[in-house]
């Protein structure tokens, strides 16, 4: 077991596309199943942090399911010794709010800044904000201060121009639903902090689109 903590946990970026993070999540689920005699099915890692200890401690939020039950969120800690491949599962427990939050209304609603989807939306916004910056010093997310979400409908690309604005009518194809996240965040670059707001959309196909990120 790790002993002296050498640093605070740091957010890992682009977790959805990281083979390393996926392997850590799969390892955690497999170890839990072996130790507890369960049959959880790994779905994905929704957020991850790494912390320098005597080695590295990975703090993971994992989405998994068992049988026909709905997906639930679990918190896991995986410790890896310095310079060694073997890993140890230190913790694997259900999150206090286990159900994966889904946005189900077209009315703008307040959502928790700890919602994994909100964190992923913020990650996408930060990538876009840094991409349009001319500075070699990257902006870092300090905190998400406020988050709202709703379902929206977007016009199918094949819908005739004459049908624009007529969603749900007999003209053209119906719009597809997307989750729209409106975020307020505190970011920093060097010692300077600033507030920004962002709008990020998440499609049913899993694609993220950053509509805007602007200083407040």
Domains of the chain by start residue, with CATH: 10-99 (3.10.450.10), 109-215 (3.10.450.10)
**Confidence (pLDDT) at 10:** 86
Instruction: State pTM to two decimals.
Output: 0.49
Provide the mean pLDDT of the chain. 80
Do residues 126 and 141 touch, judged by C-beta distance below 8 A?
Answer: yes
Judged against a pLDDT cut of 90, whether residue 211 lies above it is answered with: yes
Mean pLDDT of 151-164: 50
Is pLDDT of 161 > 60?
A: no
Of 36 and 205, the structure prediction assigns the larger pLDDT to 36
Q: Give mean pLDDT, residues 97-118.
A: 73
Name the token pair of 173: 């194809």
What confidence category does residue 72 fall into, taking pLDDT thresholds of 50, 70 and 90?
confident
Q: Tokens representing 99?
A: 């159900």
Q: What pLDDT is attached to residue 158?
A: 42
Rounded CA-CA distance 58/60 in Å is: 6
Helix (H) or strand (E) holding 150: strand 140-154
Residue 35 phi, psi dihedral angles, 5° rounding: -75, -35
């Amino acid at each position: 077991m790790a002993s002296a903590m050498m640093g605070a946990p740091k957010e890992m970026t682009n977790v959805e596309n990281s083979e390393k993070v996926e392997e850590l999540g799969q390892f955690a689920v497999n170890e839990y199943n072996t130790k507890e005699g369960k049959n959880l099915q790994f779905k994905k890692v929704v957020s991850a942090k790494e912390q320098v200890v005597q080695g590295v401690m990975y703090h993971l939020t994992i989405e998994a399911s068992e049988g026909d039950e709905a997906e639930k969120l679990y918190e896991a800690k995986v410790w890896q010794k310095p310079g060694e491949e073997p890993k140890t599962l230190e913790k694997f427990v259900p999150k206090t709010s286990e159900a994966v939050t889904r946005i189900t209304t077209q009315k703008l609603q307040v959502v928790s800044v700890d919602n994994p989807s909100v964190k992923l939306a913020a990650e996408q916004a930060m990538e876009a904000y840094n991409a349009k910056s001319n500075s070699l010093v990257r902006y870092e997310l300090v905190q998400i201060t406020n988050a709202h979400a709703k379902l929206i409908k977007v016009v199918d690309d094949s819908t005739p121009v004459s049908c624009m604005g007529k969603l749900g009518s007999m003209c053209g194809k119906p719009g597809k639903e997307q989750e729209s996240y409106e975020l307020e965040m505190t970011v920093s670059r060097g010692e300077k902090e600033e507030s920004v707001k962002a709008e990020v959309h998440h499609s049913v196909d899993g694609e993220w689109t950053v509509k805007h990120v602007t200083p407040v």
